[in-house]
Chains A and B, each alone.
Chain A
Amino acid sequence: MGEEPLVRWDWIGRNWPEIQELLADHIIMALVPVVAGLLLALPLGLAGARWRWLYQPTVGTMNVIYSLPSLAVFIVLIPITGLATRATIIVPLTFYAMAVLIPAVVDGLTSVPEHVRQSAVAMGFTPLRRLLRVELPIAVPVVLAGLRVATVSSISLVSVGALVGRGGLGYLFIDGWQRQFPTPIVVGVVLTAILAAVADLLLVVAQRWLTPWSTARSRVREAA
């Protein structure tokens, strides 16, 4: 036997359909929690920004949740959500996403300068319209920064689920380890990294599109 190559390209070719299935499963289990986390974090973050006394307890709870190891939470959930189901992975990852996003929403909203808020009131904006047209747009960069961290971590965390039977691309790590065969592991690591890079890039593009003024301002600064 010659030296075992790090990557056997023929293995990838033969197993491509299966790899695609794992990739699709991975994407669903990584992105559903981020979207759900954002939908839950927006109202909670709004409440935290409006009533400051709510903020500390909420963030404290979220910090505690964030410090729970994902593997541990997956295991504790197995009796409720079942072994090797998507829900076992999605539920904890939703909480992790919220733990990152709630502080981001609150920080974003409190970063709105007081004179901007007062100008909006003086211009006759109703509270709801002020929120939608003035405060949320100003909060977008901070919220998106949180969203980027949440998305990338979520993509990376899904693979831990492989240890409880459902980990998307993480299955390739288990498979490679059990057969002492590096190719699937390399494929899994590389695909996870590519997936995260693509998602991150899309969010950066989204930020440019949602906050055209921030790029305009930096261009002005460069010209000055």
Chain B
Amino acid sequence: MNWLIDFFGDAANWSGPDGIPLRVLEHLVFAGLSLLLAVVLAVPLGLWIGHTGKGAVLVVLSANAARALPTLGLLVLVVLLMGVGTIAPVLIPLVALAVPPILVNTYEGIRGVDPELRDAAYGMGLRGRQVLGGVLVPVALPLILLGMRTAAIQVVATATVAAYVGLGGLGRYIIDGLATKDYPRAIGGAVLVAALALAVQGLFALVQRISVSPGVSGRQRIR
């Protein structure tokens, strides 16, 4: 506990380029951009595959395989090949990390909608796209959001490794603290990342409560 006071109690840690506010901001930029890119890639693909049923096997297999890619390894490899310069090398491994849970959950969510519900929508005269947008997506939304939440938490937690190749973010405290045997710094950084991850979790719980239709959220899980 004294270590935490050492780190958080030091006014020098709260301002300047290595200050906590700026590091948190950097961390959020890495994580936010990666998540945004992953959503843009994975949600339309997942909707399309879930709706049409094309390429489903391929997606489920490759998504589970992509989970196995070690972020640290991808990161150092991409940086070695592309150089540091921009933040693009950080985004590639983080997007690779975020896409599988979003893609799988979107696909599973759409595919798992009660077929009777789907048929009823068609029977009411809705067309393919209207069925998708008006019925399937709202019903699948809890699962889709769950996928995004999982991805967001993993990205926030993993963005720490960016510091290993000399970039910013909260990982700086952890990597620098370890390198200089400054444990209060390393643990302080770890606590900040954990707090950020919990905040993201809370944020998603809120988004879910606001955006999911009450008729859908009444049931715990749609299978």
* B-binding residues in A (CB < 8 A): 6, 63-64, 66-73, 75-76, 79, 107, 111, 148-149, 152-153, 155-156, 159-160, 162-164, 169-170, 172-173, 176-177, 180, 182, 185-186, 188-189, 192-193, 195-197, 200
From the candidates B74, B183, B194, name the one contacting A72 in the complex (CB within 8 A): B194
From the candidates B65, B72, B77, B156, name the one contacting A162 in the complex (CB within 8 A): B72
Q: Which residue from chain B places its CB closest to the CB of A63 in the assembled complex?
A: B201
In the bound complex, CA of A159 to CA of B71 (Å): 9
Main secondary structure of the interface of B (DSSP, over half): helix
A residues less than 8 Å from B64 (CB atoms):
148-149, 152, 200
In the bound complex, CA of A189 to CA of B70 (Å): 6
In the bound complex, CA of A189 to CA of B165 (Å): 17
- Provided the pairs A69-B193, A176-B80 are in contact, do residues A189 and B157 lie with their beta carbons within 8 angstroms? no
In the complex, the answer to whether A67 meets B68 with C-beta atoms within 8 Å is: no
Main secondary structure of the interface of A (DSSP, over half): helix
* A-binding residues in B (CB < 8 A): 64-65, 67-74, 76-77, 79-81, 153, 156-158, 160-161, 164-165, 171, 174-175, 178, 183, 186-187, 189-191, 193-194, 197-198, 200-201, 221, 223
Q: Which residue from chain B places its CB closest to the CB of A74 in the assembled complex?
A: B190
Q: Which residue from chain B places its CB closest to the CB of A70 in the assembled complex?
A: B157
A residues less than 8 Å from B187 (CB atoms):
75-76
- Provided the pairs A67-B157, A69-B193, A189-B74 are in contact, do residues A75 and B68 lie with their beta carbons within 8 angstroms? no
In the complex, the answer to whether B194 meets A193 with C-beta atoms within 8 Å is: no
In the bound complex, CA of A189 to CA of B76 (Å): 11
Between A6, A67, A70, the greatest number of chain B beta carbons within 10 A of the residue's beta carbon is seen for: A67
Given contacts A182-B80, A189-B73, 19 further A-B contacts (CB under 8 A): A66-B153, A67-B156, A72-B160, A75-B178, A75-B190, A152-B64, A156-B71, A160-B70, A160-B161, A162-B72, A163-B72, A172-B73, A173-B77, A189-B74, A189-B77, A193-B69, A195-B68, A196-B65, A200-B64
In the complex, the answer to whether B194 meets A159 with C-beta atoms within 8 Å is: no
A residues less than 8 Å from B71 (CB atoms):
156, 160
In the complex, the answer to whether B65 meets A197 with C-beta atoms within 8 Å is: yes
In the bound complex, CA of A60 to CA of B190 (Å): 20
In the complex, the answer to whether A64 meets B80 with C-beta atoms within 8 Å is: no
B residues less than 8 Å from A69 (CB atoms):
156-158, 160, 190, 193-194, 197
In the bound complex, CA of A148 to CA of B80 (Å): 32
A residues less than 8 Å from B178 (CB atoms):
75, 163-164
Give 25 CB contacts A-B under 8 Å: A67-B153, A68-B194, A68-B197, A69-B158, A69-B190, A69-B197, A71-B160, A71-B161, A71-B171, A72-B190, A75-B186, A79-B183, A148-B64, A152-B65, A155-B68, A156-B71, A176-B80, A177-B79, A177-B80, A185-B73, A188-B73, A192-B68, A192-B73, A193-B68, A197-B68
